[in-house]
Chain A
Amino acid sequence: MAKKLMGVVKLQLGAGKATPAPPVGPALGQYGINIMAFVKEYNEKTAAQAGSIVPAEVTVYSDRSFTVRILTPPAADLLRKASGAAKGASNPKKDTVGSINREQLREIAQMKMQDLNAIDIEGAEQIIAGTARSMGIQIVD
């Protein structure tokens, strides 16, 4: 009998530093999976990327088994690094914290393409550009 999918949770955590404390505990505990089992798996799969925020997609099945897929870094992180901004703008409508060019936008879109709900690279660029605008990062030609 095929297993049923109960839910998919994405967690953004420090590589190799997951603990049973929030957000891991409450996000996964509600699905009935053993939290320490996830912690061990996430930390092992991300050990080589220590120092970065590494998202993971946890797929939970009806028998409470789960799979962990490590995703590409968050677009916000990539935008911050590419623009040199320490963080997003408090008031992105008024303030600009940095800028990236079209080439950098495409690079980030290509890197994120596999994890985005985009049909093509232009669609992915559009999503990344939207994120950049919301962070006060300008796209310059």
Chain B
Amino acid sequence: MSNWLELSVSADIEAAEAVTELLARYAPNGSVVLEPPWQANESEPGETSTSQPYLTDSTRPVLLRIYLAEHPAVAQTCREIEQALWHLGRLRPVGPLQVRTVSEEDWANAWKEHYQVQHITERLVLVPSWLDYTAQPHELTIALDPGMAFGTGLHPTTRLCLRLLEQQLQPGMRVLDLGTGSGILAIAAAKMGAVEVWAIDNDPVAVRVASENVAHNQCSEPVRVLEGSIEAASGHFDLILANIIANVLMSLADGLTQALAPNGTLISSGIIDERETEVALALATTGLHLHARQRDADWVALVHRHQRPGS
């Protein structure tokens, strides 16, 4: 795990953009702006009901922050930033540069503290692999440690896919999960009775995490995890899950359709609502027919069927 230097500066609202611009010269990967919230009840800092609009308090300083990887020249960089801030401080009030070291461990696993058991449907339950959970007789549990891979079950795209998977999967089906991430959908398919599941991702981190989760759920028999894209899959599939993003779905439309068995079903997700029409059109031009759609927040999932002539 690598260490980073966290550089923070407070400034008033008018100087905030200039300070951010200055800091960004040294941190091309981006910066953070923390504006103080206006709170009606100061006795409960950090918590405001969603029924109240979120407002920022323009009379209080804004905190600007960047991160620099630790390397031998970083002390010199900090001195340069301090000097530039001093010049800015002659025009507007700018606080001193505050520097602290942060470790990747500090944030990479912080979310785990809040990752709880999730009931996705009446039957399907996601259980963090470090928690104990006693399942009800009708429940189907998936033990999951997503690590740094996508697919915690918290995001609308994953939840949409899981719900649609439960509706569409028939025991004995051959399933492809393209862009498997944590392996969550592949494991769910296996537990629902798929006879064979191909879980493919082009990210080696996802492949490692998915393999671990598949093994942890004792699904290594039906699920094979592979690194690559659609070309890594062979044969035809009764059901394809593609929880990716709109651009990738469109570029893979032909390949996905060709990989479908006659009367096969494609569940595509990861589609931001404003791009739904484009994706639906790209899939329709390959000969697929829209069968169903579901929406959750800004995200849409589509269910297409392959109806080959004579099938």
Binding site for B on A (CB under 8 A): 2-14, 18-30, 32-37, 39-41, 43-45, 47, 53, 55, 59, 61-62, 64-65, 67, 74-77, 80, 87-93, 117, 126-127, 130-131, 133-135
Contacts and interface: CB of A to CB of B under 8 A. Distances in A.
A12 B84 contact: no
Name the residue among A40, A76, A92, A126 with the largest chain B CB count within 10 angstroms.
A40
Contact of B4 (A26, A40, A43, A134): A26
Contacts of A3: 50
Nearest to B27: A23
Contacts of B54: 5, 8, 59
Contacts of B17: 74-76, 131, 134
Contacts, number: 191
Interface string B76-115: 0000000110011011100000000010101110110111
Contacts of A76: 17-18, 20-21
Interface residues of B, number: 70
Nearest to A25: B107
A24 B51 CA distance: 27
A10 B32 contact: yes
Given A33-B111, A35-B111, A127-B13, A44 B46 contact: no
Contacts of B181: 36
B42 to A, nearest CB: 15
Given A27-B32, A47-B247, A40 B150 contact: yes
Contact of B84 (A13, A19, A25, A90): A90
Contacts of A9: 32-34
B46 A88 contact: no
Contacts of B46: 6-7
B106 A135 contact: no
Given A23-B30, A27-B65, A29-B110, A92 B50 contact: no
Nearest to B33: A10
Chain A contact residues: over half helix, strand or loop, or mixed? mixed
17 contacts: A13-B30, A22-B6, A22-B102, A23-B27, A26-B6, A26-B67, A26-B106, A36-B150, A47-B247, A64-B154, A67-B297, A91-B87, A117-B13, A126-B14, A131-B14, A131-B16, A134-B92
